Structure 1
Amino acid sequence: MDLLKLNLQFFAADGGSTGGGEPSGDSNNNGDNGKGDNGNTEPNNSGDKDPIPYDRFKQVNDNYKDMKTKYDELLQQQQQADEDAKKKQGEYETLYTELKEKHDPLSQEFTQYKETFQEILKGKLETVPENMRDLIPQGNELEQLKWIENATNKGLFKQDNPQSFGNGGTNPDTTSGDSKKDQQSFLKSLSKF
């Protein structure tokens, strides 16, 4: 009976490990089906060759749970620290507003004093003769004012009235005739020397 010869290699899922003939005709295959599983028919769902031991799985899982609880604790501590910082920030803001209320009037008063001081210094500088202004030290305005006051008290900036030479401080052309005679006699006496 020679009916139909069937090629069984098309029907074999694992290359003939369940029986039947060898599709390639290779007799020294040693159970290797070309997939690298050495003819092992057990399904391996994990992708690893060996299953994970329970002790190792438990160790990794316990470690994960410990780290998760520590992480949750750290998050909770950080949230508490943020809340405390916000509370302190609120306290600092109240302190800041209190100090600002005290400081602003003082600042305004200081600027008024400074403006008045600069006006006084400007007035004192105007009393100093032009040829003496180079003597005033450069630097702090307070030191300049002290120096001007000391110099004025010691008489450095006094302008002496010129001594009168007999004409009473008037121009010789506007004097009377007697004073002209006196001047001429004075000039004659000077010419003798």
Structure 2
Amino acid sequence: MSVEKPASKMFIQIVRELRGIIQDEKIPPGGKIPSERVLAERLNVGRSSIREALRSLELLGLIETRRGGGTFVADFHNHQLVEVLSTFILQEEKDLRNVHETRKILERDAIRIVTDDEVLRNLPVWESLLKNVIAVGRIAREDLMREVIITSNNRLVLKIWILLKQYGKEPYSGLSTEEEQPLLQTLISEIMLGHTKKAIRAFEDWTKLLHKGRE
């Protein structure tokens, strides 16, 4: 009987490596990607970690799983709705503010869903993110918020969030700063502890800081 390898890599790192395999091997839309067993061996992680990463990629619309047939690359290059929103609908500054506020509504609700659910708040991704914030002092901002949205497990919300983020072009680009570190630690810690109000308060303080840095 085989023993599953420990999931020593960060969840986000696994996702990136999986996307790297798809890109490096030039697997086209509709092309089949390696099995969970093969991917686990290549990346030296447990199959449960591979399964979780594949689920995230599927929620993002990058891959699709066919029952009994395997996992395939999806056609994810069609992002025309962003251009449509920009050109025909969202033309005023107040529209952009509405985009940001709508995005925050989705994010606050996703934080509430994750924090209120014992299974979701105990997923290994939060511990990995927290360790990275503490040890390295920074994380990719978008990685954190994407994981919150993905973990809330609503495919439609994820797609809307991606579109809103693309149009708004902020505030999650780049790496977090030293000033953000205590707020991020608090946000992730409160999610893990199941303290919904405190987690949302930390989120609000963090996004205020990001907005202040762009004024």
Calculate the TM-score normalised by the size of structure 2: 0.17
More helix per residue: 2
Determine which structure has greater relative contact order: mean sequence separation of CA pairs < 8 Å that are 6+ residues apart, divided by chain length.
Answer: 2
Which one has the largest radius of gyration? 1
